[in-house]
Structure formats: structure tokens, C-alpha cells
């Protein structure tokens, strides 16, 4: 499998709020595992991903509630839809359809970057602003390298 078919952690996913960045790194690693592990390991990795997704989304949903983030229903709805899909894929996989696990992983690979950029970045910014009175600072290695090379 070449890198274009994988989901590999990259600094572009950083939001500047460590609790979310840590959870997102684990999310990316588990989705990548769903894309790349041998078929025999899919049920175990899918179960680990399901547990992670439940805890991940619960954490973000609680944070949205605790921080009084406005307009959260769309964000929470996306979480609920992903969890429903994961549960359905677990059911289908148990019934012998391993193909749907890879399809889920590909869909998550496509979904995650825009979800993180649009919805989670707003939550991270709100959380940092509420906790520290400022905005997140994110230092991305690639941008730093490019700036350094241009000088």
C-alpha cells in the first residue's frame, strides 16, 4: 500500500489545543490501521476504533457543552452519524462482510480533514479562548521549513 492510500498524521491536522490534538493523532493512527492491517486483524482494530470514536466524540461533545460553544448541533450530529456508521459496519463485519470496514476507513480518511478544519478548529479556538483568553498557536513543521528556506 502506498502512502496516498493511507491516512498519516501530519502537522496540518494540529489545532493548537493539546487535548484535541492528542485524540486526533490517535484517530488518524486507528483509521490508518483500518486501511492497512491484514484482513484477519480488522475486527480487533475496528473494535479499538469504535471505542476510540465513542470516547473521542463524547470528549468533544462534553467540551462543547462545558464551554457553551454556540451552534453545536451540526457538530454533534456529525459525531452521531459517524458512530452510527461504525456500529453498522461492526454488525456487517461480524456477519462476514470485511469489505465494508475498508470502505468505512476510506470514508473516514476523506471526512476527517475537513471536519477537523471546519468544526474542530472552531471548538479548539473557543476552548483556548475560554481557558486562556487567547487563540491557539500552531507551529507546523512544513510551513516553518518553507519560511526558513525562503530567507
Domains and CATH numbers, the chain: 15-149 (1.20.120.50)
Q: Is the pLDDT of residue 150 over 80?
A: no
How many helices (H) and strands (E) in the chain?
A: 6, 0
Within 10 angstroms of residue 147's Cβ, the number of other Cβ atoms is 9
Q: Is the pLDDT of residue 148 over 60?
A: no
**pLDDT by residue (tens digit) across 10-36?**
989 999 999 999 999 999 999 999 999
Helix/strand/coil for 58? helix
- Crossing angle (nearest 10°) for helices 42-66 and 73-94: 160
Cα separation, 11 vs 26, in Å, equals: 14
pLDDT at position 144, please? 45
pTM of the model: 0.86
Closest by CA position to 4, among listed 30, 42, 36, 38: 36
Determine the pLDDT at residue 142: 62
Question: For the CA atoms of 71, 76, 77, 82, what is the dihedral angle to 10 degrees?
Answer: 150
Report the mean per-residue pLDDT for the chain: 89
Amino acid at each position: 500500500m502506498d502512502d496516498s492510500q493511507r491516512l498519516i498524521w501530519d502537522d496540518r491536522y494540529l489545532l493548537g489545543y493539546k487535548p484535541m490534538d492528542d485524540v486526533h493523532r490517535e484517530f488518524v493512527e486507528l483509521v490508518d490501521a483500518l486501511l492497512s492491517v491484514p484482513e484477519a486483524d480488522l475486527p480487533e482494530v475496528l473494535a479499538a476504533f469504535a471505542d476510540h470514536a465513542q470516547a473521542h466524540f463524547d470528549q468533544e461533545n462534553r467540551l462543547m457543552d462545558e464551554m457553551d460553544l454556540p451552534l453545536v448541533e451540526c457538530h454533534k450530529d456529525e459525531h452521531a452519524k459517524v458512530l452510527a456508521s461504525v456500529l453498522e459496519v461492526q454488525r456487517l463485519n461480524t456477519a462476514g462482510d470485511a469489505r465494508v470496514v475498508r470502505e468505512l476507513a476510506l470514508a473516514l480518511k476523506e471526512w476527517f480533514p475537513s471536519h477537523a478544519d471546519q468544526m474542530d478548529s472552531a471548538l479548539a479556538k473557543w476552548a483556548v479562548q475560554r481557558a486562556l483568553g487567547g487563540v491557539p498557536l500552531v507551529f507546523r513543521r512544513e510551513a516553518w521549513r518553507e519560511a526558513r528556506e525562503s530567507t
